[in-house]
């Protein structure tokens, strides 16, 4: 197990280099640089601009800039924002809990709703419920997040007035950010009103961000269950005289979990990119929002550092998923 | 009263090309403590019949019968819950493929214990001891450690012993063994068969042994039913059947046994295959493969005829019926 873990961690290194290279090059392909964006249309003299460029090392050849950046990373320095002069790592960890909170809620929503739906569709295959659900799930999986988010706001916030439009909590409350997770902080502060407010702010973003994973999880659960339900050991379980629910949950679902957990792990990657859109629509103060701003400001260090940190997270989640296989399926255990 | 009594059983599956009747007008009786051999080629409806007894015919299959009684209880009249309390307890089944018939996610000990817990066969605290005892009975060495093994860590023969332990865990009165040795090595086959027979003797349970191996039947069964294309074509006591088969199909099966084919240059075979959904002939279902087919065989399906206990579904049974003395 330890060898396996070390090998997997070893494989992370080349991925790291590739991610830094891509984010480094891609942002530099976009016209304009941070100095130009900052200067705007004020008549800043070219000598002053050149001075700034020199200050941030932007006057160096690209290969040198890249190697300097890699060297900096090896020292554990993720850089400093050109705009705010704040450390990238510090800003990331301040904003990250908001993104985590939203993502965890969305994935929980997707799994807790999508998995039972997929199981029911598989058990009742060929029924109206099955066809209906699979139709809806195709729609859900191909849902454009910006449109979907705006529709949800229009219906539930504007027309019905059930949920707040944006933000993490109502302005009426000030909650001390102990953990950075709003729900936990509110619960900590023992303020029932704040808890309700935070929870109601979470509902729409959770649904919008969770829609695609939900559709994918439901489809995957259904097809995995269909395969497992035709296995010999399911017939054995029935031959023991076990009840239908026990056969489906204990004997079938446990075996169907591996492909389902795999897609959940893969969804975490797209979840984070979906979070960027969702956070923008709902003015959710997380890393997604922050990254979008950094693109607009050509804040190279923020964009590069943020992308790298998110990529790290995705890699860790996938590693975690691979580790759960052994737990789920004794045949993979080493 | 027989332990298991089936009259006019039919099992049908709707398909895109119409209804497929996998079992047709089947009759079967089985007394307590009796070993019945059910023989036939693949696709003859042996397994489907037994799954119908177990109530395991998957949706959308349909099971109908004039009579389907176990120990006087009408099986088709039971609610699903009542049926489940019978299945796995009084009627148990061992399947063909031990490697795939056990759930790969759970230890074998847990899976046997699950049967015991489901039917409250022993107090909860005694489940582990009972499982160990069962492992001893089916000849699994070192039961205390094997208990924690997963199916993939055991051999096919061991897994089949686990399946047998699971089936006999609640002391069934009827054990159905569906080709229990087909998937195993030849050397292991005999062991498993001997185990089944010795368990049957010790416990006095009825055993329905499904097989396509006439040799196995000759060694073990008290009585034999031969099935062909979903129908029972012949039933006889084992010794009588081997001495004087009445249906041409049975005779052909026996001729194909290597030990009976001494003197032939080649082992005799039965040309063709069991008819499937598309090619069921009119008249006798065996007529395209039969050596003695006449016009009557093609025109008119033969009824099951002959003295009780020695009936055959043939217009021209081969021998005069063996004298059934009281």
Query: By the CB < 8 Å criterion, does A3 face chain B?
Result: no
> Nearest CA to B290 among B276, B306, B277, B272?
B272
Query: By the CB < 8 Å criterion, does B152 face chain A?
Result: yes
Query: How many Å apart are CA B172 and CA B53, to the nearest integer?
Result: 14
Q: In the prediction, which pLDDT does B320 show?
A: 54
| pLDDT mean across residues, chain B | 89
CB atoms within 10 A of CB A226: 17
User: Tokens 């990254």 — which residue?
Assistant: A291
Residue A291, CB half-sphere, CA atoms under 13 Å: how many? 24
Q: In the prediction, which pLDDT does A222 show?
A: 95
Query: By the CB < 8 Å criterion, does A144 face chain B?
Result: no
Query: How many Å apart are CA A278 and CA B175, to the nearest integer?
Result: 60
pLDDT in tens, chain A (334 residues): 677 778 878 888 888 889 889 988 888 888 877 777 777 767 778 888 888 888 888 888 888 888 888 888 888 888 888 888 888 888 888 888 888 889 999 999 999 999 999 999 999 988 899 999 999 999 988 888 889 999 999 999 889 988 888 888 877 777 777 777 878 887 877 778 888 888 888 899 999 999 999 999 999 999 999 999 999 999 999 999 998 899 999 999 999 998 898 888 888 877 887 888 899 888 888 888 888 888 888 888 888 898 888 888 888 888 888 778 777 777 776 5
pLDDT at B247 over 80: yes
Strand pairing class (B91-94; B67-70): unpaired
User: What region does B12 belong to: left with phi over 0, alpha with psi -120 to 50, or beta?
Assistant: beta
Q: Residues B217, B209: contact at Cβ < 8 Å?
A: yes
Closest Cβ opposite residue A330 in set B84, B89, B150: B150
Strand pairing class (B223-228; B35-39): parallel
Cis amide prior to B60 (ω within 30 degrees): yes
Query: How many Å apart are CA B162 and CA B155, to the nearest integer?
Result: 10
- Residues within 8 A of A (CB atoms), B 25-84 only: 54, 56, 84
Q: In the prediction, which pLDDT does B161 show?
A: 92
Query: How many Å apart are CA A219 and CA A140, to the nearest integer?
Result: 11
Phi and psi, residue B30, nearest 5°: -145, 125
DSSP A252: I
Quickly state the pLDDT bin for B43 (edges 50, 70, 90): confident
Q: Residues B12, B20: contact at Cβ < 8 Å?
A: yes
Its CATH class, for the domain covering A100-297, is: mainly alpha
Query: By the CB < 8 Å criterion, does A122 face chain B?
Result: no
Q: B138 is written with which tokens? A: 């089916």
Selected for mutation to probe chain B from A240, A249, A255 (highest B CB count within 10 Å) is: A240
Look up the pTM and report it.
Answer: 0.81
Q: Do A239 and B56 touch (CB under 8 A)?
A: yes
Query: How many Å apart are CA B44 and CA B228, to the nearest integer?
Result: 5
Q: Residues B285, B228: contact at Cβ < 8 Å?
A: yes
Q: Which residue of B has its CA nearest to A327?
A: B105
CA dihedral A19, A20, A21, A22 (to 10 degrees): 50
Strand pairing class (B231-237; B67-70): unpaired
3-class secondary-structure state, position B165: helix
Selected for mutation to probe chain B from A123, A236, A256 (highest B CB count within 10 Å) is: A236
Which residues, in sequence order, are bridge partners of residue B319?
none
DSSP B125: G
Q: Which residues of B92-114 are buried (b: 16+ CB within 10 A; e: fewer)?
A: bbbbbbbbbbbbbbbbbbbbbbb
Closest Cβ opposite residue B105 in set A238, A239, A254: A254
Query: By the CB < 8 Å criterion, does A238 face chain B?
Result: yes
3-class secondary-structure state, position A58: coil
Residue B277, min C-alpha distance to chain A (Å) = 22
Query: How many Å apart are CA B264 and CA B242, to the nearest integer?
Result: 19
Contacts across the A-B interface (CB distance below 8 Å): 65
Phi and psi, residue B124, nearest 5°: -55, -40
Q: Is the dihedral of CA A153, A156, A157, A162 positive or negative?
A: negative
Q: A128 is written with which tokens? A: 């109206």
Query: By the CB < 8 Å criterion, does A239 face chain B?
Result: yes
Q: What is the ipTM of this complex?
A: 0.88
- Name the residue with higher pLDDT: B324 or A35: A35
Q: In the prediction, which pLDDT does A122 show?
A: 94
- The ranges assigned to domains in chain A are 100-297
Q: Give Cα B284 to chain centroid, integer Å.
A: 23
Phi and psi, residue B322, nearest 5°: -65, 140
Q: Cα Rg for chain A, rounded, in angstroms? A: 24
Q: A109 is written with which tokens? A: 């929503």
Residue B97, min C-alpha distance to chain A (Å) = 8
Residue B235, min C-alpha distance to chain A (Å) = 27
Query: How many Å apart are CA A2 and CA B75, to the nearest integer?
Result: 55
Query: By the CB < 8 Å criterion, does B206 face chain A?
Result: no
Query: How many Å apart are CA A281 and CA A279, to the nearest integer?
Result: 5
Phi and psi, residue B211, nearest 5°: -160, 160
Question: How does pLDDT run across B74-127, given as a tens digit for each residue?
Answer: 999 999 899 999 999 999 999 989 999 999 999 999 999 999 999 988 898 899
Q: In the prediction, which pLDDT does A250 show?
A: 93
DSSP-assigned states of every residue in A136-164: HHHHHHT--HHHHHHHHIIIIIIIS--S-
Q: Do B84 and A232 touch (CB under 8 A)?
A: no
Query: By the CB < 8 Å criterion, does A243 face chain B?
Result: yes
Query: How many Å apart are CA B11 and CA B63, to the nearest integer?
Result: 5
Which chain A residues contact residue B119 at CB under 8 A? 241
Q: Cα Rg for chain B, rounded, in angstroms? A: 21
Closest Cβ opposite residue A240 in set B97, B118, B150: B118
The lowest-confidence range among A11-20, B72-81, B144-153, B259-268 is B259-268
Q: In the prediction, which pLDDT does B322 show?
A: 44
Q: At what angle do helices A192-229 and A88-123 cross, to 10 degrees?
A: 50
């Amino acid at each position: 197990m330890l060898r396996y873990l070390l090998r997997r961690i070893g494989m992370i290194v080349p991925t790291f280099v590739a991610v830094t290279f891509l984010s480094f090059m891609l942002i530099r392909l976009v016209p304009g640089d941070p100095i130009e964006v900052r200067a705007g249309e004020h008549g800043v003299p070219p000598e002053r601009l050149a001075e700034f460029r020199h200050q941030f090392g932007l006057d160096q050849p690209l290969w040198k800039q890249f190697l300097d950046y890699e060297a900096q990373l090896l020292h554990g320095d993720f850089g400093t924002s050109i705009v705010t002069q704040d450390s990238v790592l510090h800003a990331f960890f301040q904003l990250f809990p908001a993104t985590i909170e939203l993502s965890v809620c969305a994935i929980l929503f997707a799994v807790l709703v999508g998995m039972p739906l997929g199981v029911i569709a598989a058990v009742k295959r060929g029924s109206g419920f099955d066809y209906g659900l699979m139709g809806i799930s195709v729609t859900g999986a191909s849902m454009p997040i910006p449109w979907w988010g705006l529709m949800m706001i229009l219906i539930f916030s504007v027309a019905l007035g059930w949920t707040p439009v944006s933000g993490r909590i109502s302005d009426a409350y000030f909650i001390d950010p102990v953990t950075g997770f709003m729900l936990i902080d509110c619960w900590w502060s023992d303020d029932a009103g704040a808890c309700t407010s935070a929870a109601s702010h979470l509902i729409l973003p959770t649904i919008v961000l969770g829609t695609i994973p939900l559709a994918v999880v439901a489809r995957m659960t259904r097809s995995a269950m269909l395969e497992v339900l035709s296995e010999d050991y399911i017939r054995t379980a029935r031959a023991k005289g076990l009840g239908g629910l026990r056969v489906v949950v204990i004997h079938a679902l446990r075996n169907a979990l591996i492909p389902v957990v795999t897609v959940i792990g893969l969804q975490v990657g797209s979840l984070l990119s979906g979070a960027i859109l969702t956070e923008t629509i709902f003015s959710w103060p997380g890393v997604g929002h922050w990254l979008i701003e950094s693109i607009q400001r050509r804040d190279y260090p923020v964009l590069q550092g943020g992308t790298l940190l998110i990529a790290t997270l995705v890699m860790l989640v996938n590693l975690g998923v691979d580790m759960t296989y052994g737990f789920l399926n004794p045949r993979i255990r080493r | 009263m027989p332990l298991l009594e089936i009259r006019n059983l039919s099992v049908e599956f709707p398909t895109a090309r119409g209804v497929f009747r996998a079992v047709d007008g089947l009759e079967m009786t089985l007394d307590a403590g009796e070993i019945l051999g059910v023989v036939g080629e693949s696709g003859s409806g042996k397994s489907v019949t037994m799954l119908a007894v177990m109530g395991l015919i998957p949706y959308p299959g349909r099971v109908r019968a004039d009579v389907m009684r176990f120990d006087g209880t009408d099986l088709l009249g039971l609610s699903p819950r009542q049926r489940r309390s019978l299945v796995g307890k009084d009627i148990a089944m061992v399947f063909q493929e031990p490697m795939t018939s056990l759930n790969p996610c759970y230890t074998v000990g847990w899976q046997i214990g699950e049967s015991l817990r489901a039917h409250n066969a022993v107090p909860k605290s005694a489940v582990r001891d009972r499982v160990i005892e069962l492992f001893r009975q089916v000849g699994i060495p070192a039961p205390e450690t094997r208990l924690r093994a997963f199916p993939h860590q055991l051999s096919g023969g061991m897994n089949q012993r686990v399946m047998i332990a699971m089936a006999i865990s609640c002391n069934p009165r009827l054990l159905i063994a569906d080709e229990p040795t087909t998937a195993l090595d030849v050397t292991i086959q005999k062991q498993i068969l001997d185990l089944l027979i010795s368990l049957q003797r010790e416990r006095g349970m009825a055993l329905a042994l499904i097989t396509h191996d006439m040799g196995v039947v000759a060694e073990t069964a008290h009585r034999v039913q031969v099935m062909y294309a979903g129908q029972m074509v012949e039933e006889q006591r084992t010794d009588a059947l081997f001495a004087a088969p009445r249906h041409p199909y049975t005779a052909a099966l026996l001729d194909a046994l290597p030990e009976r084919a001494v003197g032939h240059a080649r082992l005799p075979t039965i040309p063709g295959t069991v008819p499937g959904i598309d090619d069921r002939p009119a008249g006798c279902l065996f007529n395209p493969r039969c050596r003695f087919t006449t016009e009557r065989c093609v025109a008119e399906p033969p009824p099951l005829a002959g003295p009780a206990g020695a009936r055959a579904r043939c217009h021209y049974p081969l021998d005069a019926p063996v004298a059934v003395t009281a």
